[in-house]
Structure 1
């Protein structure tokens, strides 16, 4: 019976891999489940400093594999239904843009130039829609496990450096903020926002006055009407073309 369940599990994982490739099309050269060089460098620096080092293993550790083994709610039909349901929406356009980024870049260049907080959150929310139970295993429960391990080994007055995958950072931060009565950075604003506080208003007004005077002087000499009411050069040094023609009219 165990051999049969193992064969069924491998078949389910193979179908899941096909569904993930169909939904996101990352390509065979993207292997997100392998530890990156940042883990290697962090471990080497910790050894050089003689710091206490705890390596928690790869993303797909034994605990995660056991959770996947016992999870039978990985409904593949939901993927195709959601792709059909969200067709023609803004999400479909974002989905197509993400696929283009993955196919036109290498893993290293994608991580360094495209893999920002916005993209990571997009993939997390997309995974919650397409593969909700998979997201619960790979992200939510993993966030909780990492957070518990960090807090359990934290000692008072001692600094800890935790190197985790980017898709775990926000979850760990929210768990930390919730336990200690703090606000995560994504929800806290340290100072009031002044939308025009950094704008050189006096310089802009002088620039408009100078251009208006110069325009009137030239038109008086040529006895014609202005061909354009756009300034010759504004405060932010935009290029002069037709799309900014309307800004001073």
Structure 2
């Protein structure tokens, strides 16, 4: 029987319930947030090891966990995703990421940050600031992000702990990939395709149902959770990857500057600047996959891809049995009522009318 008779609704219902296999059959389980924050890579040829630790900058528990993993790893060099001036603002002892970030604001790090990313004055600069404000308005209104979402982009307690660890172990410390530094702002400033109208039009008129439903689910999470709760309970590898892909759909040119270019900066700093065989990198979670992919490709360690087959998980026998049962029911009803049935791809046995004419007619 032709599989085209199945509507997408019925196909999804059957496949969704019958192909949700356990891990040993081929589907990997979702990683927890803690598992998603650690990637340990090694090159068997050069004996080089790379430990990538992810951070959301706001979780205190994840910060101390990253510190314990870093201590156990005993790196020969460390890379932090922040600016070299960060070390001037992080003296003292702190016990939570929020307290530490608040101290950075009070000690002048925020104003130093603004000064380093300021694009001057004039009409062009004012126009650029307006575009940034509109883009920020879109993110805050459409996605319903929490008010303290800015904490994801300001170095947190784990960055300070790694800086302290480098002093304790007397290893080299490197800085690369700061989210919004001068080069990033310059690229955004010169990006003529930074259209703030496009995200609105794309969201309301250009998303298919799947992306739209996922976005609405995130809106519910953003409205009902603080940024810290999201970081500790929902920012696993799958969800962060979805957010990165969503940014690529909605603001593709800005995503290249804010994420892709930073991935390259971090990777090349690892390869060109970091010394020793045990390298540790602390980056924001949305850079982990990109840095890992670049490192694997550069060292020739890309995982082999399986052949693509769109129907490899289609339960063909179950689908055909379902269709045979439906055809049998239709034939019985037609014999009893004498009325031909329409809508073969629906479970409802609807009488034949012109408005529901099917390819059976």
Give the TM-score normalised by the residue count of structure 2: 0.48
Within 1, Cα distance between the matches of 2:131 and 2:236? 31
In the alignment, what sits opposite 2:302?
Answer: 183
Runs of 4+ in structure 1 deviating by more than 6 angstroms, as ranges, are: none
In the alignment, what sits opposite 2:224?
Answer: 104
User: Are residue 34 (structure 1) and residue 138 (structure 2) matched?
Assistant: no
In the alignment, what sits opposite 2:139?
Answer: 20
Q: Which has the higher contact order (CA 8 A, sep 6+)?
A: 2
Cα shift at 1:109 = 1.8
Within 1, Cα distance between the matches of 2:167 and 2:174? 11
In the alignment, what sits opposite 1:140?
Answer: 260
In the alignment, what sits opposite 2:283?
Answer: 164
Cα shift at 1:107 = 1.7
Given candidates 140, 146, 153, the residue that maps to 2:273 is: 153
Within 2, Cα distance between the matches of 1:8 and 1:184? 45
**Partner SS, residue 54 of structure 1:** strand
Q: Larger % of strand: which?
A: 2
In the alignment, what sits opposite 2:201?
Answer: 81
Residue pairs, 1:1-249, within 5 angstroms: 3-31=122-150, 32-56=152-176, 58-86=178-206, 89-155=209-275, 157-184=276-303
- Structure 2: which 5+ runs fail to align? 1-119, 307-361
In the alignment, what sits opposite 1:246?
Answer: none
Compute the RMSD of aligned alpha carbons. Answer: 2.1
Deviation readout 1:61-96 (Å, 9 max, x if unpaired): 111111111112112222122212356712222111
Within 2, Cα distance between the matches of 1:120 and 1:161? 21
Cα shift at 1:57 = 6.7
Within 1, Cα distance between the matches of 2:191 and 2:292? 27
Instruction: Give the aligned length.
Output: 186
Deviates more, 1:120-129 or 1:2-11: 2-11
**Contact 2:148–2:227 (8 Å) recurs in 1:** yes
Give the TM-score normalised by the residue count of structure 1: 0.69
Within 1, Cα distance between the matches of 2:209 and 2:188? 31
Cα shift at 1:27 = 2.2
